[in-house]
Homo-oligomer: A and B are copies of this chain.
Amino acid sequence: MVDNKLIDVTFKKYGLRKTSFRKNLFELFHNSLNSLSAKEISLRFSTSADKVSIYRALDSFEKSGLIHKVPDKNNLLRYSLCKSECTPNQHAHDHAHFLCSVCDETFCLDDFTLPSTKSHNGFLINDLKIIMEGTCVSCKSI
């Protein structure tokens, strides 16, 4: 369960309306160790949430800078909670993403440092991502 104060502060910071659905969605992200797809979100809601609301909420959360897209093994839309430093315009994701070949989950490896380059052969680089594939900690030990 997430503290009401955190919800207030967060929603205010990101300029989001506090509807009960979006508060639940935020809680879900907050309590999830890794990323979420629309389908996973749908399954985790007891009261069946409309998929359109899910998609629109995700879109809105992303635009505000609260969550960010992460890669997915099956090309699904998939999101993770942003770090507190992120703003709508500037995301501070200096971490790598890890896709587990066994469980298909996506993990953020927060402490993996990315190379910092601004351009390469005339290509202007605004954003650089590292995506790893392999076996995650949990699946390794099975």
Interface residues of A (CB under 8 A from B): 71-72, 75-77, 96, 98, 101, 107, 109, 111-112, 115, 120-137, 140
Contacts and interface: CB of A to CB of B under 8 A. Distances in A.
A123 B137 CA distance: 5
A126 B101 contact: yes
Number of this chain's copies in the complex: 2
Contacts of A131: 71, 128-131
A130 B114 CA distance: 9
A121 B140 contact: no
Contact of A123 (B124, B125, B134): B134
Nearest to A76: B75
B123 A128 contact: no
A25 to B, nearest CB: 21
